[in-house]
Structure 1
Amino acid sequence: MEHLIALLPLLSSMPALQVFVGAAVAVTCVAMVLRANRDRHEVPPPAPGSVGDAMVHLQGPAEVLSLLRDLRELGRQQVEHLARIAECARVARDEAKAQTDLLRSIDREQVRNHGHDWRE
């Protein structure tokens, strides 16, 4: 890095070299801008968000309706499964409550028979 800094006084004494480097940089920048403008018109349209989006786009409205029907059927099945899960949870809660009541009655019976609480 120091050797580049040492070249600065030498380069400042050569105005022709400065003009040449400046012109080369300017021509390169203009060429890049023109190339970008030309390439922008040749770029294909952006890709869809996913492979599924592309497939629906290629297959048409009939396929979209079929996919919507499939989604509706999956939603209906999901509702049925959630109802079954809710029923199982209710049965498990009722069973746990019944077992808790049974344990309390056993505990009361033991206190009545032995005259004290075994947990003390």
Structure 2
Amino acid sequence: MIIGFTIVQGVYAALVGLVCVVLGLAGRKPNDLTVLSVAAIELLLVAQAVVAIVAPFAGNTPTGNPLEFWMYLISALIIPPLAIVWSLVERTRWSNVVLGAAAFAIAVMLWRMEQIWSVQLAG
């Protein structure tokens, strides 16, 4: 993984989470801003998956358990589409809060993936 890309993704996901939760608690229903922001998180996660596939061939191998890393990444790839579907099916203010919770979860999962990739020792 590339630390700079991961940090940008994590900060973006945290900001999206904050915006979605604030708008949800303010009584706003899901709109293009919130739904498309979470969709952008998904696109960044797909790019992260491509980086994770290519990185070992470029000499950037994970130091932690690759299976654990890939389970985090696959789980992270599933969360935004499910949150978006939720927000489109149940168009209430709480759907924005769900989008925000999903974005916060992704931010935390990205940092954990970075730890698995570059901090832990394989064993």
Q: So what's the TM-score if we normalise by structure 1?
A: 0.27
Bigger Rg over Cα: 1
Q: So what's the TM-score if we normalise by structure 2?
A: 0.26
**Higher relative CO (CA 8 A, sep ≥ 6), structure 1 or 2?**
2
